[in-house]
């Protein structure tokens, strides 16, 4: 399941990049959020943590940081912030501000899309590295504590 989630995160990131390419900044934010969500849920699943059935997994990620090696857990606060921030933007990036009648294209500009892409790119890269370590020789040589 973790591998499938990471594959999905890769596809979401590709779609976010394409959205940026065509100037769809809200689309880039939305797909970046999904990439971050799938990346982090993959890591939680990998270490046997039940994650909440919501888009923001920052709280549980911060709570279980000790399950990860230091080289990964040192980035958990940053990735948790990405999760929290992008989850709050998920709805507005799709629907805009419906009460005020403001479409997503007026809420999200190039800088928003670029920041979301940076967050998703960073998170996916770290999660892919952890996945490779966890499923490969690194873990067998000493487990998470052995890599602290």
Is-contact 79 36, C-beta < 8 A? yes
Instruction: Report the pLDDT value the prediction gives residue 146, as an integer from 0 to 100.
Output: 40
Instruction: Report the pLDDT value the prediction gives residue 147, as an integer from 0 to 100.
Output: 45
Instruction: Report the pLDDT value the prediction gives residue 123, as an integer from 0 to 100.
Output: 98
| Low-confidence stretches of the chain (pLDDT beneath 50) | 144-148
DSSP letters spanning 43-82: HHHHTTPPPPSSS--HHHHHHTGGGS-HHHHTTHHHHHHH
Instruction: Report the pLDDT value the prediction gives residue 51, as an integer from 0 to 100.
Output: 86
Is-contact 95 65, C-beta < 8 A? no
Structural domains of the chain, count: 1
Residue 33 domain boundaries: 2-146
**CATH assignment at residue 30:** 1.20.120.330
Instruction: Report the pLDDT value the prediction gives residue 148, as an integer from 0 to 100.
Output: 39
**Cβ count near 90 (within 10 Å):** 17
Predicted structure pTM score? 0.91
Instruction: Report the pLDDT value the prediction gives residue 142, as an integer from 0 to 100.
Output: 53
CA 115 – CA 40 distance, rounded (Å) = 18
């Amino acid at each position: 399941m973790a591998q499938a989630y990471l594959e999905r995160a890769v596809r979401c990131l590709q779609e976010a990049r394409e959205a940026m390419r065509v100037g769809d900044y809200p689309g880039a934010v939305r797909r970046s959020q999904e990439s971050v969500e799938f990346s982090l849920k993959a890591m939680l699943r990998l270490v046997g943590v039940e994650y909440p059935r919501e888009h923001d997994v920052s709280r549980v990620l911060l709570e279980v940081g000790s399950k990860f090696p230091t080289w990964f857990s040192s980035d958990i606060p940053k990735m948790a912030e990405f999760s929290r921030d992008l989850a709050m933007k998920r709805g507005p990036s799709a629907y805009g501000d419906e009460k005020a009648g403001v479409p997503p294209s007026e809420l999200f500009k190039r800088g928003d899309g670029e920041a979301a892409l940076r967050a998703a790119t960073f998170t996916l890269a770290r999660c892919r590295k952890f996945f490779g370590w966890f499923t490969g020789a690194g873990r067998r040589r000493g487990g998470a504590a052995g890599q602290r």
